[in-house]
Amino acid sequence: MTISLWRHEEWFGLRVNTNAKVIKKVEIPTLYKKIPECWQIDARGESKLGIYKATFYFHPQYGFVRWEYTKPDSTQVILDLEKVSGF
């Protein structure tokens, strides 16, 4: 199943074109544990600052369990689920 979203936005006076697609279900290793059945969402944002790419992994019970960003200068930022409490 692929669902696409394409938008043009203004962000602090900067025009940003964004595109996001729900790609597929995958098992994703996190700092917490391997989590099966996560939806992979690929996104891309483009402005005069450059192209930003992101991949998000969403699980119905845990929410977003991993975020991977690549900035225009190729710097990568990864946010990873480390702990779950309250379940």
- The predicted structure's pLDDT at residue 1: 47
Does residue 8 fall inside a structural domain? yes
Would you say 17 and 45 are in contact if contact means Cβ atoms under 8 Å apart?
yes
Q: Which pTM value belongs to this model?
A: 0.81
pLDDT 10s digits, 50-74: 999 999 999 999 999 999 999 999 9
In a domain, 85, yes or no: no
Q: How many domains does the chain have?
A: 1
CB 34 within 8 A of CB 55: no
Q: Is residue 87 part of a domain?
A: no
Domain that holds residue 40: 3-63+70-79
Does residue 45 belong to any structural domain of this protein? yes
